[in-house]
Amino acid sequence: MQEYGKKTPIEGVQIITLQSFVDDGGALAEIVRVDENGYLVAIPQFKVRQSTWSQMVPGTIKAFHLHYNQEDVWFIMPYDRLLIGLFDAREDSPTYKQTMRFVLGAGRAQILYLPRGVAHGLANPWNQTANMIYFVNQWFDAEHPDEQRLPWNILGDDFWEIKKG
């Protein structure tokens, strides 16, 4: 039997639904609002330092990695969809080793907050290119990247496959 109940989220991870405005001419959603000091209003501890656009062609898997200092806020375009995978790699967390697997986009305007120490990745198992915009609280430094790579299949080869049944 398929599970329909809500699963316990990883400590600190937030999925925030944005207010969307839809009319006969299209749609609009404010992705982030930044206060006068550069902090996100929806996530007050998060100061935006860089914003990046990324595109994923069908069949792409970008996983897994984590940051010790950086935090991320992701936005998947509502007309696209990406499969998100997370697991808590923080030994001092009450949700240590807990995983999350869900879809972002797919008609919804949401942002995802990823605290440091939560390993994250995403995949596009569908047949259309998908786009995302993400915000980070540190500038990327190619000389000393705050990025710890983990195997794409650390949660099993089938983790990124569309579940059948």
**pLDDT tens per residue, range 78-99:** 999 999 999 999 999 999 999 9
Nearest partner of 112 among 89, 140, 138, 132, judged by Cα: 132
**pLDDT tens per residue, range 2-51:** 677 777 789 999 999 999 999 999 999 999 999 999 999 999 999 999 99
Res 52 pLDDT > 90: yes
Paired tokens of 103: 């879809």
Domain ranges of the chain: 55-104+116-139
User: Quick one: pLDDT band at residue 163, thresholds 50, 70, 90?
Assistant: confident
The residue with greater pLDDT, 1 or 122, is 122
Bridging pattern class, strands 118-123 and 61-66: antiparallel
CATH topology of domain 55-104+116-139: Jelly Rolls (2.60.120)
